[in-house]
Structure 1
Amino acid sequence: MNGLSLKILHSFFLLFISLYGLSQVQTVRIIVPKGAGTVMENTKRILELQITSRADVTIVKDISAQLTIELIKEAGYHPESYSISDKGKSHIQIAGADGAALLYGAGKLLRTSCYDSNGFTPGTWRGTSTPKGKIRGIYFATHFNNFYEAAPIEDVQKYVEELALWGVNHLVIHFANWQYTAFYDAAAQKTLTRFRQIMGMARACGMKVGLLQVPNQGFKFTKSEFLNTPVPDQLGRRGHFGINLNPSNAQADKLLKENWAYLLDQFKDIGLDLMVFWPYDEGGCGCDQCWPWGGRGYPKLCKALAGITKQKFPDINVVLSTWMYDTPPAGEWEGLTRFLSKGNNWLHYVMADSHEDFPGYPLQKGVPGNLPLLNFPEISMWGQGPWGGYGSNPLVNRLQRLWNQTEGKVSGGFPYSEGIYEDLNKIICAQLYWDGERQTSDIVKEYIAYEFSPDVVNDVSRAIEILEANHNRKQIKANAVEAFNLLQQAERKLTAQTLKSWRWRILYLRALIDREMYERGGKLEGELLKAAFNELTEIYHAQNAHSMPIRPPVIK
């Protein structure tokens, strides 16, 4: 489309919004009541930042503003639900049950609005929205010097804000003991400080925060007599770094419980709302007192540690992950069912998922303990290595297929995230948790319209469909050229701010890399690929990341 055609299209758009009562504005006022509280004040700040970073708009504090956006708490709403309504031609009100609900409502307003160099056009969506999933979480894997460890803390905190706008209400982080010699290790203390900073921002967005921990994980240089017996791992799925403890050893059990209590104390000021126990990779013990781990040693140890946790955080919720249970079959699901039949008042949720299809046991035979079920979508590692090394990794159809397998039986979950390259996959999961009847393809279109432009939804959604079809690095097809051409075509309709955004760049670079790999017969060579991988490394802050999972390929 040439420049004249774009001007004609823009003129029609302005005519449309004038006819239907909308108006493009250059000045905006956002108001909150006195004593609004941390989350509401933070929502106001985030709204201002998102609008001004996407459009040429000035935030004003008086009634001269062309548009007023009002945030208000009101009784009568379901928890976390919000409504958006008009209180005049130039006054939009976002009302909700609590501060977090207002942030979700702000996100909906932002996603349905338009932005360009001429100003801001507020969205027309009006109504009330209530989440169906109670746990709309995200798990930040913090290891290997990935984005969450290596990026400036301000970037990570800003990313937490942006996820909250899509309805994410829980954040859990993992303290990886195996990376450190002890808690007094300077690197360990630096990590714990960073965790509290990230959790602090999550709290300011109304999120609940917690840890995802392996219960028998040890530090480097743990005494050999305390170590576990490696678990059977015929399929190479369970992971083993060699420093897990054996809880059936009295001295090792005493040490791991001391370490557990110390770890909890590091969060006594910020508070913990959730503890997720994790069985494998890292974790487990295969001795005759603990095996099968998932049905014997693991739930027994988790129950004991849950008791310690509740002493320090009485209102905490406990989640038991069953990741890699019976891989291969060892009676773990049945063992857990028997264990919880004797008492499950220490536990609130069971979490299940795997690399491939959703585990069949909880769907066919019921959740052990008759507890609510959560999922743990694989959005980061599946089918590529290095993870995210080629840019955005959209898994639109795969996530829809896996969601359909649960048949509405999950109460939410925690997508597994290694960085920002799977941003689209996170949003798909968050919105499925909010409304499980939505289609992933519909969520993708909303994402494109918000993050890029409503004008490019068709071209970009088709390109994303092709990128997913070419997910396998060894089977990139000729349609990779089409995907790249579609994104080049979309570029001409985007604002300068959007073209520079990391979300656009990781998508565009993925299409460029796919085209180059197709035309070069899969070989990683040439200046274009070298520049693309270097740019991704900068975006991820992955210069010192572990080369296997995180850092993009290096072309010499």
Structure 2
Amino acid sequence: MKIIHFRNLLFAFILLLHHGVFSQIIDLSKASILASSSIATQFKEKMIAVLQEEIALKTNLKLSTSPNEKSPFLVLALQNSPLVNTYPLPTLTQDDASSLQKEGFRLVHQQIAGKDLLWFIGADQRGLLFAIGEFLRTADLSKQKILFDKKFEKSSAPMYAIRGHQIGYRNTANSWDAWDFKQFESYFRELAFFGTNAIENIPFQDGAASPHMKISREEMHIKMSQMCQAYDLDYWVWTPADVDLADPKKFQEELKAHVDFYKNCPRLDGVFFPGGDPGENHPKYVLPFLKAVAAELKKYHPKAGVWLSLQGFSDEEVNYFYEYLNQNKPDWFTGIVTGPSSPDLAATRFRLDKKYQHRHYPDLTHTVRCQYPTENWDQAFALTEGREVTNPQPAYYAKIHNRYAPFTDGFLSYSDGVHDDVNKVIWSQMAWNTEKDVRQVMVEYARYFFGNSVAEAAADGILALERNWVGPIEENGGIETTFAFWQNLEKSHPELKGNWRWQQLVMRAYYDTFIKRRKSYEQGLEKEANAILSQAQTLGPEKAMTLALEKVNQADVKPASPELRQKVVDYCEALFQSIGLQTSVAKYKASGAERGAILDFIDYPLNNRWWLQDEFEKIRKMTDEKAKLERLQIIATWENPGKGSYYDNISDQLKGPRVKTKTEDATDVAWWDNGLSRRRLSTQLFQNFPKLEYADLDPKGSYTVRISGQGEALLRVDGERVRPVVYHKGVEEFKEFQLNPKFISDGKISISFDEPEESHLNWRLHSKVFDIWLLKK
């Protein structure tokens, strides 16, 4: 009886919770909006419109600005506002102190005479905008309902002053070159709701018009400035000099282009001049140019700053810059920007006079060949999804932000499209508060963009997509689980099918799963082909090659999971229609294969069928039958050299278990031949100087080290240099080293490599190691 009674009580308690008896949820569905007269008129009208439009979009409710004494109020105010209507601002407490700081805000509930008031109180105009963003991210806004839980009341201010994103209206962008004014304004507004306070445009560089542009670049540059002015967001410009500034005529022409642009900008807060990427000018020419730029800039925008990055500068050029700064201490100079190919971020802050600011320029948009390459990324993803795929990596980028932020005054990220939308939000939120929980940021992201009912599930789905990319694809069982999870969300929320953020996330779940299944299938075919090649002595070389090639080419004749591939194609079409995302050069006129053209690589081979076809052509030209059989045996046993022997693919975690070193960007050379290399897959991965460790060797065995690579391979075994018996330097040509029995006597060895002197060579020509065998005779 006691148990039944307890169960009844528990059931009743749950019902009470469900109906809100013990909750602190405020129903604001019938609210009207009040705004303080102390807010500047234009900005006040903009914020009222923002609140009305956002609520109407999500709830179909149109909030009135006519006071209704019977309804709740949403009250917009500044901290220094007098009475709003007849209501005084809520009393400040010690816990509210942060809200008084620049850009700070309070979002606080108050009940007066039974009436609910939700206050949006900004320390300044931007603080008011960020208070509105906080409300929109945390409130339950559903059809005909506005519900706010008091647990989301907040007093807050940002930790870092600069929180922005580069959104350059140019041809190389993979999506927003197709946008109109309304789409840009919506995106700026949405970024601001997550704490962004600056937008950086690219007015000069990359002058070619995109075939997708509906509006001229010149018109859009000015319009973007006007949009920032309307929302009180900082407007920056990225202005590299592709001309020779040592030439007085070109110097003046470049300066005039700057001046003409400044005159027409309604708002301009920062001019960022990259020292390199692009640009090849020595600082002895850059600094006088920037001094002249600053003088002209101040005429039209007195508070605007001039910034310089040291990207691509040599040690001599970096030293020249600091000597100039220390000797002249120019007031016209604002600070340094640290981005890809810049000197170390922490060292820069240490060396830079405290008079000057320091801004991070993080690359949030790329996965490989970039500043922060995706860690432990499977080669199959790198080859097919490429450099600008939809890449939500909230945990990864939160970690990077928090590692480097203490050395900066904030950031303005590099981006070239909407595919990194999640990363922009996580970086903005971490810059607001580095202690914010990553999952909570994703819940708020999903709540705002997808709705309260799916917020928790979609947040977990985003985090699961990030985990799809961790480690060998064959061992990542979570990929199929994540796919089933997103498939269920896709089916249960058809109302979101036109939402471009939703489309991107669902598409990624399909893409990842398609690639996982395809890799498993195609590599299985290659194993069967290798078994055929191993019978070449019996079948004869010609028949063995024909049958082996037929086997691996089944990947094209009977491809894996065509239904998943079609879903990816369909989502790419939907994304082109909804947001202008260009996922193919041929089909959607992407500006280049690396600029998000994931459809152009979706079928890239994940076995070595292209390489085998080319190798078989070489073998057929051989006149010596014995040589043919020997080469076919090497190919057949490439990854399985036999009992007692070992093979390691240097940069594949699954196929290189004895490799103890890692490379930051192991997939870099996957971009040979414009992304369509016919080389062996293992050859498209490399390390320059790997280290390997072997155990459980036969102490009485005789071993040879074989290396496939390019250039030199200055091998050391147990710290001792070993001379080769075969030493070919071409790509995929072998080097062989016969090991002295003394190395093997204890049953283990370590392998390392000395660095050759190659400073005179382009980095792409530096020596590399692709594959290593330890072959037992």
- Normalising by the smaller structure, the TM-score range is 0.7 to 0.9
Q: 1:98 aligns with which of 116, 124, 146?
A: 124
Deviations along 1:439-464, one digit per CA (max 9) or x if unpaired, are 44442233233333555555434432
CA 1:14–1:416 in 2, change beyond 3 Å: closer, same or farther?
Answer: farther
**Could you tell me how far apart the structure 2 residues matched to 1:356 and 1:443 are?**
30
Distance of aligned partners of 1:393 and 1:65 in 2 relative to their CA distance in 1, 3 Å threshold: farther
- The alpha carbon displacement at 1:355 in A equals 7.4
| Amino acid of the structure 1 residue aligned with 2:478 | N
In the other structure, the counterpart of 1:59 is: 63
Aligned to 1:230: none
Query: Are 1:213 and 1:275, in contact at CA under 8 Å, matched by a contact in 2?
Result: yes
TM-score (norm 1): 0.80
From the superposition, tell whether residues 93 and 445 of structure 1 become closer, same or farther in structure 2 (CA, over 3 Å): same
Distance apart, 1:131 and its partner CA: 1.5
Of residues 99, 103, 107, the one that matches 1:84 is 107
Give the direction of change, closer, same or farther, for the CA distance of 1:180–1:262 in structure 2 (3 Å limit): farther
- Aligned residues between the structures: 498
Report the residue type matching 1:27 in the other structure.
Answer: K
Letter in 2 for 1:393: N
C-alpha distance in structure 2 between counterparts of 1:188 and 1:245, whole Å? 29
Q: Please tell me whether residue 22 in structure 1 is matched to residue 25 in structure 2.
A: yes
Q: After TM superposition, list the pairs within 5 Å mapping 1:465-544 onto structure 2.
A: 465-471=463-469, 475=473, 477-491=476-490, 496=495, 498-521=496-519, 526-541=565-580, 542=582, 543-544=588-589
Query: Partner amino acid for 1:375?
Result: H
Deviation at 1:105, TM superposition (A): 0.4
1:92 offset after TM fit, Å?
A: 0.8
**Aligned residue identity for 1:417:** S
Which deviates the most, 169-178 or 517-526?
Answer: 517-526
Distance in 1 (CA, whole Å) between partners of 2:486 and 2:592 is: 29
Aligned counterpart for 2:458 among listed residues 457, 460, 470 = 460
| 3-state SS of paired residue (2:77) | strand
Report the CA distance shift for 1:68/1:101 in structure 2 as closer, same or farther (over 3 A). Answer: same
1:366 aligns with 2:351: yes
Q: Compared with structure 1, are the counterparts of its residues 438 and 58 closer, same or farther at alpha carbon in structure 2 (3 Å cutoff)?
A: same
| Number of the residue aligned with 1:227 | none
Residue 160 of structure 2 corresponds to 133
Where 2:307 maps in the other structure, the secondary structure is strand
Using a 3 Å threshold, how does the CA distance of structure 1 residues 503 and 388 change in structure 2: closer, same or farther? farther
CA distance in 1, matches of 2:253, 2:577: 41
The question of whether the paired residues in 1 share the 8 Å contact of 2:171 and 2:208 is answered with: no
Q: Is the 8 A contact 2:507 2:567 kept in 1?
A: no
The CA deviation at 1:345 is: 1.6
Q: Is the 8 A contact 1:344 1:369 kept in 2?
A: no
Alpha-carbon separation, structure 2, partners of 1:501 and 1:167 = 22
Return closer, same or farther for 1:85/1:512 CA change in 2, 3 Å cut-off. same
1:323-373, Cα deviation, whole Å (9 max, x unpaired): 3445xxx4443332222112232212211132799645325x433675222
Matched with 1:68 is: 73
What is the match of residue 402 of structure 1? 400
> What residue number does 1:219 align with?
none
Cα offsets for 1:73-115 (capped at 9, x unmatched): 2229332111122232532111112222111001111111113
Q: Structure 1 residues 468 and 357, CA, compared in 2 at 3 Å: closer, same or farther?
A: farther
1:188 is displaced (CA, Å) by 12
2:300 aligns to what?
312
Residue 599 of structure 2 is aligned to residue 553 of structure 1: yes
Residue 502 of structure 1: CA displacement?
A: 1.8
- Quote the offset at 1:414 in angstroms: 0.3
Distance 1:84 1:486 in 2: 35
Aligned to 2:537: none
The Cα of 1:396 is off from its aligned counterpart by: 1.8
Q: What SS is found at the alignment partner of 2:31?
A: strand
Question: 1:338: which partner in 2?
Answer: 323
1:208 and 2:207 are equivalent in the alignment: no
User: 8 Å contact 1:133–1:412 — kept in the other structure?
Assistant: yes
- Report the alpha carbon displacement of residue 467 of structure 1 after superposing the two structures with TM: 2.2
Q: Which residue of 1 aligns with 2:48?
A: 44
Q: CA deviation at 1:62?
A: 4.6
Task: Using the TM superposition, give the Cα deviation of residue 136 of structure 1 relative to its aligned residue in structure 2, in angstroms.
Answer: 1.5
AA at the equivalent of 1:450: Y
Q: Residue 399 of structure 2: SS of its match in structure 1? A: helix
2:279 paired with 1:283: yes
Equivalent-residue separation in structure 1 for 2:167 and 2:144 (angstroms): 37
Identify which range, 130-139 or 47-56, moves more after superposition.
47-56
Aligned match of 1:115? 141
CA distance in 1, matches of 2:264, 2:232: 21
2:357 maps to a residue whose letter is: P
* 1:53 CA displacement: 1.6
Q: Is the 8 A contact 1:113 1:122 kept in 2?
A: yes
Q: Which runs of 5+ in 2 are unaligned?
A: 1-10, 82-99, 369-381, 523-558, 583-587, 604-777
Matches within 5 A, 1:112-261: 112-117=138-143, 119-124=145-150, 125-144=152-171, 146=173, 147-180=175-208, 190-214=216-240, 216=241, 244-261=242-259
> What whole-Å deviation, never above 9, does each CA across 1:181-216 have from its counterpart, x for those lacking one?
9xxxxx9992121122222122111112121111x2
Cα deviations across residues 138-173 of structure 1 (Å, max 9, x unaligned)?
Answer: 211222263332112211111111111222111120
CA contact (8 A) 2:461 2:482 kept: yes
Question: Offset at 1:472?
Answer: 8.3
Q: Is 1:416 aligned to residue 394 of structure 2?
A: no
C-alpha displacement of 1:17:
3.2
Q: Is the 8 A contact 1:17 1:23 kept in 2?
A: no
Structure 2 counterpart of 1:378, one-letter code: D
Instruction: For residue 380 of structure 1, report the CA deviation from its aligned partner.
Output: 0.9
Q: Which has the higher contact order (CA 8 A, sep 6+)?
A: 1
> Which amino acid is 1:84 matched to?
L
CA positional deviation for 1:501? 2.1
Q: Distance in 2 between matches of 1:210 and 1:376?
A: 13
Change (3 A) 1:513 1:12: farther
Calculate percent identity across the aligned residue pairs.
17
1:417 match: secondary structure: coil
- Which residue pairs with 1:376 in the alignment? 361
Which is worse superposed, 189-198 or 153-162? 189-198
Q: What do the CA deviations read for 1:294-332 (whole angstroms, capped 9, x no partner)? A: x54333432332233223322211222233445xxx444
Q: Distance in 2 between matches of 1:447 and 1:357?
A: 34
Aligned partner of residue 599 in structure 2, secondary structure: coil
Task: Compute the displacement of 1:420 (Å).
Answer: 1.8
Structure 1 gaps, min length 5? 1-7, 182-186, 217-243
8 Å contact from structure 1 (residues 73, 97) kept in 2? yes
SS at match of 1:272: coil
- Contact 2:55–2:62 (8 Å) recurs in 1: no
